[in-house]
């Protein structure tokens, strides 16, 4: 197939993927409360409304707090895990690696129900802390994968050199290994942050009625009446994801991060 035809296929699919987002962007610009496309009268009033109307401001605040704490927590769990798995190939290392990957491989409904019964049993059902911890465990796979990738790319000669120069274990860890894998830690954090912000089912099952996040709020609005604010949230989420992944792509090697071996050669 010719180069032009291939490019056309890729662009066509990307256009289909963009289509719903284009329509939703149009809707978010409506002047009135209607959901028309093309919009009737252009206005940014619904963008302001998201940050002013109490019943949308509260979910926004919840979502940000949860995403920030959960992604920090998941990196805190993933970093020692990845370091241990990287340094030792024993049974605990393999078991930990499987445990780190598992939360993301299973249908999320199952994990969500597991968290629901767990928090009910512990007596923390409906608390924000429960949502934060659940998200941290659920999304731990992402920093585990990125940090492991970073560790595998470390040139062991550097570590060996630091050791022969008399650096202690702590010094090597802080002075050599951590700086080298820092970009991978940050990408893992960013992945977890974006996905936590968008996550619905776990947040809903664990504390859906008390701690409303933006996706939960949108879902509730799907049942009780659409407003253009829902479009605004969707647009902001897409924009944020593009900025975050764009930055990772700009300063890191995204094709390599996604598992391509030969990307560096091109």
In the window 117-176, what residues touch another protein (CB under 8 A)?
Answer: 117-118, 120-121, 133-134, 137, 140, 156, 159-160, 163, 169, 172-173
If one asks whether residue 207 binds another protein (CB under 8 A), the answer comes out as no
Q: Least CB distance from residue 258 to another protein, whole Å?
A: 5
- Closer Cβ to another protein, 58 or 108, answer by number: 108
Which residues are 42's β-sheet partners? 30
Tell me the closest approach of the beta carbon of residue 21 to another protein, in angstroms: 6
Binding to another protein (CB under 8 A) within 224-243 occurs at: 226, 230-231, 233-234, 237-238, 241-242
Which residues are registered as beta bridge partners of 30? 42
Q: Please pick, from the candidates 62, 69, 100, 131, the single residue that binds another protein as defined by CB under 8 A.
A: 100
Q: Considering the rule CB under 8 A, would residue 206 count as an interface residue with another protein? A: no
Binding residue (CB under 8 A) for another protein from 83, 124, 129, 180: 83
Taking the CB of residue 155, how many other CB atoms lie within 10 A of it? 10
Please report whether residue 42 would count as binding another protein according to CB under 8 A. no
Dihedral of alpha carbons 121, 126, 128, 133, sign: positive
Q: Is residue 27 involved in binding another protein (CB under 8 A)?
A: yes
Least separation in angstroms between CB 147 and another protein = 12
Query: Per CB under 8 A, does 47 bind another protein?
Result: no
- When asked if residue 182 is in the footprint of another protein (CB under 8 A), the reply is no
Q: CB nearer to another protein: give 12 or 51.
A: 12
């Amino acid at each position: 197939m010719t180069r032009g035809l291939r490019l056309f296929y890729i662009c066509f699919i990307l256009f289909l993927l963009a289509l719903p987002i284009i329509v939703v962007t149009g809707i978010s610009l409506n002047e009135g409360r209607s959901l028309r496309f093309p919009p009737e009268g252009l206005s940014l009033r619904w963008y302001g409304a998201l940050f002013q109307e109490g019943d949308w401001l509260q979910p926004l605040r919840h979502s940000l707090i949860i995403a920030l704490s959960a992604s920090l927590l998941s990196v805190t769990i993933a970093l020692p895990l990845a370091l241990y798995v990287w340094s030792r190939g024993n049974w605990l290392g393999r078991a930990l690696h499987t445990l780190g990957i598992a939360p993301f491989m299973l249908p999320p409904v199952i994990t969500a129900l597991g968290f629901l019964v767990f928090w009910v049993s512990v007596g923390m059902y409906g608390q924000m802390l429960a949502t934060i911890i659940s998200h941290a465990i659920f999304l731990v796979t992402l920093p585990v994968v990125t940090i492991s990738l970073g560790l595998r790319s470390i040139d062991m000669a550097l570590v060996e050199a630091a050791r022969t120069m008399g650096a202690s274990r702590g010094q090597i860890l802080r002075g050599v290994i951590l700086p080298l894998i820092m970009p991978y830690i940050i990408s893992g954090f960013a992945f977890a942050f974006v996905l936590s912000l968008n996550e619905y089912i776990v947040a809903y099952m664990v504390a859906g009625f008390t701690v409303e996040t933006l996706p939960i709020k949108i879902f509730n609005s799907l049942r009780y009446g659409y407003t253009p604010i829902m479009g605004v949230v969707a647009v902001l989420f897409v924009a944020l994801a593009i900025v975050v992944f764009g930055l990772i792509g700009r300063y890191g090697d995204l094709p390599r991060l996604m598992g391509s071996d030969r990307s560096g050669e091109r």
